[in-house]
Structure 1
Amino acid sequence: MVKKKIKQIAIYGKGGIGKSTTTSNLSAALVQAGYKVMQFGCDPKSDSTNTLRGGKYIPTVLDTLREKNVVKAEEVVFEGFHGVYCVEAGGPAPGVGCAGRGIITAVQLMKQQKVFDELDLDFVIYDVLGDVVCGGFAVPIREGIAEHVFTVSSADFMAIYAANNLFKGIQKYSHAGGALLGGVIANSINAPYAREIIDDFVQRTHTKVIEYVPRSVTVTQSELQGKTTIEAAPNSEQAKVYSSLAQKIAEHVESSTPSPLELKELREWAAKWGNHLLALETGEIRTEAAGI
């Protein structure tokens, strides 16, 4: 019998950008489409999977290891919405150790106990903090644990700065079997200029936008109920966007090495856009004017 190839995906993004919201809705949409999915929370806050479980937090791999020397997979793998498997790597005690160590430990545990194969998974989705340049957080890329990387970014400079840093990491490990970039998930894209900024950035870094996700009050309403939008508002426009994203990621085959901007280039690029937006604000130019 031929062993099924599991599609392993890492989703990065700076803190507060909507990365866990996007990842959880992606997982929910994929399980709804009939795939077997595990979501692997890699943020020390351990809150990646709670909207898949009615707002409930689950014991993390590192916390469980602190209580006992040997951890069985069933003690840290929990089922959520539509049977999506949820794991939280966790972090060290505050002020001690490397926040990325949980990822390394948790992945080793899953591999030793052959959890991915036994659960017959189609997807493992790692939800990784993307604004900390730390060895642990780079593991899914560096070790090639994830095959495809997607980054969640808005049109804000710090989000783009974090995405550009991630591109540098992918580029660095791309020659040594590291993960490659699948594309950018453009989040909170409501104003026309936000889409233009993201489009310009991906063009300059030889990448692509895989989906544009608008900011929506539906997401806030759903999360206040401890649910994903897919579960709480399945017929909403926002749920359709997440379902579209899930389909594109399910069909995604070929990732590539991005071409990150040097810091000086990024600063100059941002300054031009800053001037452009100021001119829009003051009415010096109309929205459709280009010139960047």
Structure 2
Amino acid sequence: MADPQAHPRDHVAITIACISGKGGVGKTTTTINLAAALAERGRRVLAVDCDPQSNLTSGLGFDPYRIPVTIGDVFAGRVRSAPDAFLSTHWENLWLLPAKPDLSAVENDLNSSLNRELLLRDALSRDGIQASFDFILFDTPPNFGFHTVNVLAAIRYVLIPVQMSGYAIKGLKEVLRTVHAARQRLNPELRILGIVATFVNLRTNFSRDMLEGLREIPNLTVFDTIIKLTVKLQETSLAGIPVTSYAASSEAALAYRSLADEVLAQVWALSRPGRRTRTGGPTPSTRTPTTVP
């Protein structure tokens, strides 16, 4: 696992989760490749799999069924501390807190637990975890249940992948409402980092119009980088290798490196007093945007 002495004790990791209530929008793909791109840039990154489907775990080259200790054990208190479940990946600066399918049973086991929505936050606040990493990235289930709520209580920033489809705006509204509710009830520090357009086909008027509409939404940052659906991205999900390593010079790899640079710039902008966003506008409001087309 990471060395807790890697940073000063007062260092606090930047926590980001990809959130979507819909599957197939590039949530896990973005988490994997953003984590890998940040690690390439020398940032110490922990990727946390909070989805019983365990696609983040398999996407980083591990067989979920053969991992003895996972995040489910952290939730259930079966390990002394969360770092007992950390795995070193094949890529420098990148660690994994894995999941396996039995994570879906944890919610039922913890129905009577006090503060059940804060279990992940409490686990990650101990043992020098925040001081060990520069970034902690979370992959969540495609719903707003127990595991996603735990993530929203534990993080600072939400990254929203939006696929260019007819249901995109409806899904975005659901995410914004959920984030707003979590901010009000659980985590007043919660902020929306921005939107990343995924699986874009710029050859169609529909995708171009959707992208333009997203960028007109007030109080939300839409990153300039767009993620196109490419053969290389599809292949990496089977290979268990980030596209930044699998096809290092591919369009998809370059896009995720560009997104990593934008994320770094946006986090920096949002952390400065009197700050302005990467788009040059004022800092996004902490409220849910009032106008979503």
Q: TM-score range by the shorter chain?
A: 0.7 to 0.9
Change (3 A) 1:165 1:178: farther
User: What is the aligned counterpart of 1:189 among 188, 200, 203?
Assistant: 200
TM-score (norm: length of structure 1)? 0.76
User: What is the aligned counterpart of 1:201 among 194, 208, 214?
Assistant: 214
TM-score (norm: length of structure 2)? 0.76
Change (3 A) 1:135 1:70: closer
Q: What is the CA distance between 1:205 and its match in structure 2?
A: 4.8
- Asked whether 1:240 is paired with 2:250, we answer no
Change (3 A) 1:199 1:207: farther
Whole-angstrom CA distance in 2 between matches of 1:94 and 1:4: 31
**1:10–1:126: 8 Å Cα contact kept in structure 2?**
yes
Paired residues in the alignment total: 255
Hey, what does 1:170 align to over in structure 2? 179
Change (3 A) 1:195 1:98: farther
Q: What is the CA distance between 1:93 and its match in structure 2?
A: 2.2
Provide the alpha-carbon RMSD of the alignment: 2.9
User: What is the aligned counterpart of 2:122 among 80, 84, 108?
Assistant: 108
- Asked whether 1:92 is paired with 2:104, we answer yes
**2:58–2:240: 8 Å Cα contact kept in structure 1?**
yes
- Give unpaired runs (5+ residues) of structure 2: 1-7, 271-282
Whole-angstrom CA distance in 1 between matches of 2:51 and 2:147: 11
- Give unpaired runs (5+ residues) of structure 1: 270-292
**2:17–2:137: 8 Å Cα contact kept in structure 1?**
yes
Q: What is the CA distance between 1:55 and its match in structure 2?
A: 4.4
Q: What is the CA distance between 1:84 and its match in structure 2?
A: 0.6
Hey, what does 2:19 align to over in structure 1? 12
- Asked whether 1:28 is paired with 2:31, we answer no
Identity percentage of aligned residues: 22
- Asked whether 1:154 is paired with 2:191, we answer no
**1:103–1:137: 8 Å Cα contact kept in structure 2?**
no
User: What is the aligned counterpart of 2:144 among 114, 133, 136?
Assistant: 133
Higher Cα Rg: structure 1 or 2? Answer: 1
Q: What is the CA distance between 1:103 and its match in structure 2?
A: 7.7
Q: What is the CA distance between 1:259 and its match in structure 2?
A: 1.0
**2:59–2:238: 8 Å Cα contact kept in structure 1?**
no
Change (3 A) 1:260 1:19: farther
